[in-house]
Amino acid sequence: MVLALLYFLLGRLSFALAVQHGTVTNMVFGAEGVSLAFTILYGSAMWPGVFVGQTVLALSGGLDLISACRIAAINSAEAVLGAWLFHRLGMRAACYACGILPP
């Protein structure tokens, strides 16, 4: 639920900063980065947080439930695939703030 809340809040912040007068000005979507980091550090069990956060974010933006769930499913799959590729390529995660250091 922490990831879902972070995803929603960072997504709303990114949208607030990204659109000015109908023009997208920011190419950084912080929620995706946070969801990938959580998934890399804590495993694929984090996908429900991505799914819930993205669903609520999409619903708050006016999308219908089916469209919101489709986008959330794709973003959840992206986070899991990104984490899988990260580990498959032999990379090691380091999070100095939370004490996780590579071997």
Structural domain including 82 reads 2-88
Number of H helices, E strands in the chain: 4, 2
Whose structure tokens read 């900063």?
17
Q: Does any domain span residue 56?
A: yes
Give the C-alpha separation, 69 to 75, whole Å: 10
Could you read off the pLDDT of 9-60 as tens digits, one per residue?
988 888 777 766 665 566 667 888 889 888 988 888 999 999 999 999 999 9
Residue 41 has what pLDDT? 87
In a domain, 41, yes or no: yes
Domain assignment present for residue 102? The answer is no
- Whether residue 100 is contained in a domain is answered as no
- Residue 68 inside a domain? The answer is yes
Residue 79 covered by a domain? yes
* 16 located within any domain: yes
Number of structural domains, the chain?
A: 1
pTM over 0.85: no
Q: What is the CA radius of gyration of the chain?
A: 15
Domain assignment of residue 95, yes or no: no
